Amino acid sequence: MAKRFNKYNKRYDMLVTTHGIRSNFATQLASNCVSLTTIQSALDYQSLETTQRYLDIDTETKNEEISQFLNNR
């Protein structure tokens, strides 16, 4: 699979990696309120720590979601 990515990265002058795809997938799931344990299962990881490494949620988004949660209590 890495060879295919390298081929297309060179052809289209971009950088796509398996890590980037997994990270984007995990982040999209988390942004849509999918639980970490479900994301962990989808990515087939043993630990939540590994799952969390793939999440790329910015500070502003985190703060907004926490604020919404606290306001809805």
Residue 30: pLDDT over 80: yes
Banded model confidence at residue 65, pLDDT cuts 50, 70, 90: confident
Residue 57 in contact with residue 27, Cβ under 8 Å?
yes
What pLDDT was estimated at residue 20?
83
**pLDDT, tens digit, 9 for 90 and up, residues 33-58:** 898 899 999 989 898 888 887 787 77
Q: What are the boundaries of each domain within the chain?
A: 2-71
Q: How many angstroms from the chain centroid is the CA of residue 30?
A: 7
The pTM assigned to this predicted structure is: 0.63
What pLDDT was estimated at residue 41?
92
Helix 36-43 vs helix 18-31: crossing angle, to nearest 10: 150
